[in-house]
Structure 1
Amino acid sequence: MPSSPRICGLMLAYFKADMTLKCLRTLAGQGIETIMLVDNSHCPEEHQRTLQLVQHFPKGWLKVVIAEDNLGFAKGMNLALDHARQLGEWDYFLLLNNDITAKPDLVSQLVEYMQQQANIMLLGVHADAGDHLQGKLYYQRLTGLMFTKPTLGSFPVVPGYCVLIQPTAISDHLFDPRYFMYGEDVELSWRMLQQGKKIAILPKPLLAHKSAQSSGEASLFYEYHINRGHWLIVQALGHNHVERIIMYTLRLLLLSARAVLRSWRFRSMTPLKALLMSGLRLPIRPVLTVKPHEKTYTVA
């Protein structure tokens, strides 16, 4: 592999162009050859703001794809990957949230670690979340609970806010397109492990990250997709019919308790309503304050 590997960044944007610009500025000059940015905003005014971000960076470094609709995280990232592949062969893809603030050595540290551990296909990193560190989590298959340490029946999950991945680890799609958002990183980690691929996380906090910047915690959108992700994960992780019944039952109990507590906390029936709706595939999207527009699809 060359001393200076070809790295393509993959990123989504949903409004908040100023936040995206702040993030991109912390990544410029770190050895990323190109960043493919998919705008999921479904708003012509916001599309223009996103397209204008290109002028802040060297020509060709930032490429903007305007999605035909709000595709969600999984399909949006898959679209970014498709466009990146059209540009040629890459040594690494770097999946990035637009709500992170990277330290100057983020990319070099990730690449160095992966080059030293050639058998790692999926590499994440710890993040400074303000009052705590985000890092490797362990997903308990039967209950759907997350833990910070290994537990019986759990497996490691690489959080999706910043992931370095080797192209050979991707066969067809990167993320399962059934996930709109939430749960796709669990499914990806599980799929990699089931295929015998090694995943890891760099223990250093090389970026800052604040979650739920685009989804709106406690909104119908947030609550629906959190719950919906749990049901989809059962389909991916359950080995047989009996096991899936157990997984569905345990999740129903735990998610019901969660919905009741959150409805009380926020003085709103939205969490309970979202749980009831989550068993169905519904077009639940964030509430827009702009008038919908005709579908467009352009690349800058």
Structure 2
Amino acid sequence: MFNEGVEHVVVWDNSADGSLSAQAIHSAYAADPRVLIHVSDENLGFAAGVNRGLKLCATQLNATDVLLINNDAVLQPGALRTYMDTVSNHPNAAVISADVEHAGQRQGPMYYQRWCGLQFKRPAWGAFAYASGSCLWIVLKNSPSPLLDEDFFMYGEDCELGWRLRDRPDAWVHVPRCLVTHEGSAASGLGSSFYEARMVAAHILLARKLSANPVEQLLLFALRIPVLLARAFVRSLRYGSLEPWRALSAGMRLTHHSSQD
């Protein structure tokens, strides 16, 4: 990255494993002042970790632009130059995204149907667009602060950001080029109890965040129930496990506890 114009790299270690995850990076870059490694005392969740990292970039490094990238995502050659050129051509941009190669398939913007929580790869009735949070270029002076809603521990925060940016059509710019390869769920484990429960919690929490009033919130929640039941059924068959059913209950408890905080 440094040979393509990056001035600093900030690693926010949110693993809460006693800095074991950060040791290899420390060993490789301990003498390089361009690399800052912050080890969090606790796992704050993805959204909170991102917000803390962006604040560190702004206050300690006086950064104006930040490339937010997951530990399981890899930039394609020339991607940084494309992001930089896009910023120059869109002075009001707050967030810049690009197509991502995910599980061997190219993925552009996703579309979330806010009434029942279904996701689509193409525009659909009642759905709004959002970009994957795995790799985003953030223009700090134009972006909301905090960037992500910290009520989301993991999953759903990028969708909620898309909802907030929908009224600012020039704030989000998508580059229709595949610039990123994303493994996906490397940290949480696809099909694991953590992944399943957090995904359920995200869908329920989105019902709260995307509603305009209490009546609409109740309707959005009610319409998600059959979708979440169908999701648990399909994924239980796919993985040959009862974990999706247990996660359905666990996810609902997570959102209930968060609403009491």
Does TM, normalized by the shorter one, top 0.5?
Answer: yes
Q: Is the 8 A contact 1:144 1:230 kept in 2?
A: yes
- 1:124 Cα offset (Å): 0.4
CA distance in 2, matches of 1:266, 1:104: 36
Structure 2: tracts of 5 or more residues without a match: 256-261
CA distance in 2, matches of 1:102, 1:279: 36
Deviates more, 1:192-201 or 1:143-152: 192-201
Aligned twin of 2:35: 62
Matched pairs, number:
255
1:73/1:103 CA distance change after superposition, 3 Å: same
| SS of equivalent residue, structure 2 residue 154 | coil
Deviates more, 1:162-171 or 1:249-258: 162-171
1:38/1:108 CA distance change after superposition, 3 Å: same
Asked whether 1:156 is paired with 2:129, we answer yes
- 1:134 Cα offset (Å): 1.6
- 1:47 Cα offset (Å): 3.5
| SS of equivalent residue, structure 1 residue 29 | helix
1:131/1:110 CA distance change after superposition, 3 Å: same
Aligned twin of 2:86: 113
Asked whether 1:231 is paired with 2:204, we answer yes
1:88/1:49 CA distance change after superposition, 3 Å: closer
Kindly report the root-mean-square deviation, in angstroms, between the aligned alpha carbons of the 2 structures. 2.0
Q: Is the 8 A contact 1:41 1:47 kept in 2?
A: no
CA distance in 2, matches of 1:123, 1:146: 21
Q: How does 1:211-222 map to 2 (within 5 A)?
A: 211-222=184-195
Q: Is the 8 A contact 1:140 1:151 kept in 2?
A: yes
Aligned twin of 1:33: 7
Q: Is the 8 A contact 1:96 1:161 kept in 2?
A: yes
Of 81, 85, 92, which aligns to 2:58? 85
Q: Deviations over 1:219-248 (max 9, x none)?
A: 110001001011111121101222212211
Asked whether 1:193 is paired with 2:166, we answer yes
Of 14, 17, 30, which aligns to 1:43? 17
Q: Is the 8 A contact 2:95 2:143 kept in 1?
A: no
Asked whether 1:99 is paired with 2:72, we answer yes
1:206/1:171 CA distance change after superposition, 3 Å: closer
Of 139, 147, 153, which aligns to 1:180? 153
- 1:192 Cα offset (Å): 2.0
Aligned twin of 1:13: none
1:67/1:241 CA distance change after superposition, 3 Å: same
| SS of equivalent residue, structure 1 residue 278 | helix
- 1:197 Cα offset (Å): 5.2
Q: Deviations over 1:230-277 (max 9, x none)?
A: 111112110122221221111111011110121122222111111112
| SS of equivalent residue, structure 2 residue 4 | coil
CA distance in 1, matches of 2:27, 2:15: 14
CA distance in 1, matches of 2:96, 2:9: 18
1:233/1:53 CA distance change after superposition, 3 Å: farther
TM-score, L = length of structure 2: 0.91
Q: Is the 8 A contact 1:39 1:50 kept in 2?
A: no
Structure 1: tracts of 5 or more residues without a match: 1-26, 283-300
| SS of equivalent residue, structure 1 residue 279 | helix
Q: Deviations over 1:64-88 (max 9, x none)?
A: 0000112221111112112112224
